[in-house]
Amino acid sequence: MSNSAPTSRSFSENLDLLAEVAVKVGLGLQPGQELVMTASLDSRALARRITEHAYRAGASLVTTLYADDEATLARYHFAPDQSFDCAAKWLYDGMAAAFKSGAARLAITGTDPALLANEDPDKVGRANRAVSQAYRPALELITRHAINWTIVASATPAWAAAMFPAEAPEAALAKLWEAIFSTSRVDTPDPVAAWKAHDAGLQQRAAMMNEKRYAWLQYKGPGTDFRLGLAEDHLWLGGGTTAGNGVYCIPNMPTEEIFTTPHKERAEGVVTATKPLSHQGTMIEGIQVRFQGGRIVEARASRGQEVLQKLIDTDEGARRLGEVALVPHSSPIAASGLTFLNTLFDENAASHIALGQAYSTCLREGDKMTAEELAAHGANESLIHVDWMIGSAELDIDGITAGGVAEPLMRKGEWV
Ligand code: ZN
Ligand code: ZN
């Protein structure tokens, strides 16, 4: 936020503003609407501020489901083996029922990026798969944008320690909060207005790409020589969306990306990740994969290879792409120079692609299509949706028209 006047607000004023922006701009919470929130115990300070702002905005009921890292670890250390094929399906079914009856969804992210790094990858993989299956009915309402939803971040001691290992715990936590406030535009004189202006800029960039209607994107950079086809009738989105329930929301705070649906059968060549990926508490580093006919035919990681392999073995769609996103290297998150080890931030610091489930809203009339129609347009289907970062200051991207003409889109990570 180099172009905004620095303000000197207290920590609690900033926390309160973050909550206010999340409720008003992120969620667009409506009077009388229910809210289902998920948070960790370590992020309860923000959850409480959000609860207050939600009620002040007229929420009929705010229900927060708290997770506890210590309890998660206790399961890995003491639970019987069959535990790892279980998930609280009744809970996720309840969330889906709440969404169907009109509830909005807010997730606070901020757990320890390496919580499960030392646990058995087989157990981690099985537990993730069980949750993905149980969560599917609820997740589908979110990927279809049937309801208004958003994700915001809270600093937590474990996350801060992973990001700033050389700092004392309190200093690390303060640094992470500062980074969250600044990348979430809370440090601007009028955060709500700043978000509206930023949203308009993303909408404009998406509109430009929708006019161009490129058939392919061509990527060239260190370790990357890759061509990705876009889905038939693909639609670039960025910033806010009007959800199926008619409410305008901005699903990620922060957000810097414009994104669309690639064609699940059109990806060729080699892609190298430019940032480590923290996936459900495990770290995957040095990812390099080769695509053929849209499918990963070779996958390597210098760390977390086994987790990566399990991830792409989740189902047939886990080896194919469900999202492609463009983010300039000068985004405030990239400019911070920090690796957050958290997808909400790192995916907004760099151009990325995602393995797995496609967003049907990224197709024209996609929210009205059947599963067969979506597949016929090239939209991928999977239990997973995992973003990984491929953008850098050395990446060049061309758009290739249906007629085969290449036009420069990004050079050295910036829009041309
Ligand atoms: Zn994305
Ligand atoms: Zn994504």
* Residue-wise pLDDT tens digits, 359-414: 888 999 887 899 999 999 999 999 899 999 999 999 999 999 999 999 999 999 99
Q: Which structural domain range is residue 24 located in?
A: 11-183
Number of domains making up the chain: 2
For residue 2, the model assigns a pLDDT of: 43
User: Is there a single domain that holds both residue 278 and residue 166?
Assistant: no
User: Is there a single domain that holds both residue 155 and residue 231?
Assistant: no
For residue 7, the model assigns a pLDDT of: 55
β-bridge partners, 262: 230
The per-residue pLDDT for range 176-229, each reduced to its tens digit, is 999 999 999 999 999 999 999 999 999 999 999 999 999 999 999 999 999 999
Question: Does 2 map to a domain?
Answer: no
Distance CA 184, CA 18 (A): 8
Question: Does 190 map to a domain?
Answer: no
Nearest Cα to Cα of residue 361 among 144, 210, 205? 144
Question: Does 203 map to a domain?
Answer: no
Q: Phi/psi of residue 391, each to 5°?
A: -85, 155
For residue 3, the model assigns a pLDDT of: 45
- Mean pLDDT, rounded, of the chain: 94
Distance from the alpha carbon of residue 402 to the mean position of ligand 1, in angstroms: 24
The per-residue pLDDT for range 325-361, each reduced to its tens digit, is 999 988 889 888 898 988 889 889 999 999 999 988 8
User: Is there a single domain that holds both residue 84 and residue 171?
Assistant: yes
User: Is there a single domain that holds both residue 391 and residue 262?
Assistant: yes
User: Is there a single domain that holds both residue 137 and residue 278?
Assistant: no
Question: Does 285 map to a domain?
Answer: yes
**CA contacts within 13 A on the Cβ side of 217:** 28
User: Is there a single domain that holds both residue 291 and residue 400?
Assistant: yes
Distance from the alpha carbon of residue 257 to the mean position of ligand 1, in angstroms: 6
Distance from the alpha carbon of residue 324 to the mean position of ligand 1, in angstroms: 7
Q: What's CA 363's distance to the chain center, in Å?
A: 19
User: Is there a single domain that holds both residue 146 and residue 16?
Assistant: yes
Reduce the DSSP state of residue 139 to 3 states and report it: helix
For residue 57, the model assigns a pLDDT of: 98
User: Is there a single domain that holds both residue 167 and residue 225?
Assistant: no
Question: Does 244 map to a domain?
Answer: no
Distance from the alpha carbon of residue 81 to the mean position of ligand 1, in angstroms: 34
User: Is there a single domain that holds both residue 162 and residue 267?
Assistant: no
User: Is there a single domain that holds both residue 165 and residue 310?
Assistant: no
Distance from the alpha carbon of residue 322 to the mean position of ligand 2, in angstroms: 8
Q: Which residues surround ligand 1, an ion (CB under 5 A)?
A: 257, 259, 325, 347
Distance CA 140, CA 35 (A): 18
User: Is there a single domain that holds both residue 168 and residue 36?
Assistant: yes
Distance CA 130, CA 381 (A): 17
Distance from the alpha carbon of residue 246 to the mean position of ligand 1, in angstroms: 23
User: Is there a single domain that holds both residue 265 and residue 127?
Assistant: no
The per-residue pLDDT for range 80-116, each reduced to its tens digit, is 999 999 999 999 999 999 999 999 999 999 989 889 9
Q: What is the CATH number of the domain that holds 39?
A: 3.40.1830.10
Question: Does 198 map to a domain?
Answer: no
